Amino acid sequence: QVQLVESGGGLVQAGGSLRLSCAASGRTYSVYAMGWFRQAPGKEREFVAAITWSAGRLYYADSVKGRFTISRDNAKNTVYLQMNTLKPEDTAVYYCAAERYSSKYYAPDEYDYWGQGTQVTVSS
């Protein structure tokens, strides 16, 4: 069992920045990768970014590449999503997820554990 708790969401103006945090607890040693997904009203949950825990390989959706940065602090079992140059289209509930095995990092169905989500709202 792995528990994930997101924080850092909020309301920000377009062009601003937010940093999301996801603290993992429980059987964190079993985590292969952690990812961020987002879901806007009426839309499917979409991949944002992922990082493999051991090797630190990074993956980004094209829509956020160059603006968002995913990172992790191994000692704190925490993954971060630094979001810069935010756009209104970034508005969504952002979810942290953990993947136990190497799989399709971009596919929500491949992840085993999920946080509760944190709302990010970007105003124009």
Q: In the prediction, which pLDDT does 9 show? A: 97
Q: In the prediction, which pLDDT does 69 show? A: 98
Q: In the prediction, which pLDDT does 103 show? A: 84
Q: Which two tokens stand for residue 77?
A: 């079992």
Q: In the prediction, which pLDDT does 120 show? A: 98
CA gap 61, 84 in Å, rounded = 14
Task: Strand 18-26: give its sheet, edge to edge.
Answer: 2-7, 18-26, 78-83, 68-73
Q: Return the percentage of the chain with pLDDT > 90, whole number.
A: 90
User: How many CB atoms lie under 10 A from the CB of residue 63?
Assistant: 15
Residue owning tokens 């103006």: 13
Q: Which of 86, 90, 114 is nearest to 100 (CA)?
A: 114
Is the pLDDT at 112 greater than 90? The verdict is: yes
pLDDT-derived band at 17 (thresholds 50, 70, 90) equals: very high
Instruction: Report how far Cα 38 is from the mean position of its chain's Cα atoms.
Output: 8
**C-beta of residue 45 within 8 angstroms of C-beta of residue 28:** no
The predicted-structure confidence for 56-111, as pLDDT tens digits, reads as follows: 999 999 999 999 999 999 899 999 999 999 999 999 999 999 999 988 999 999 99
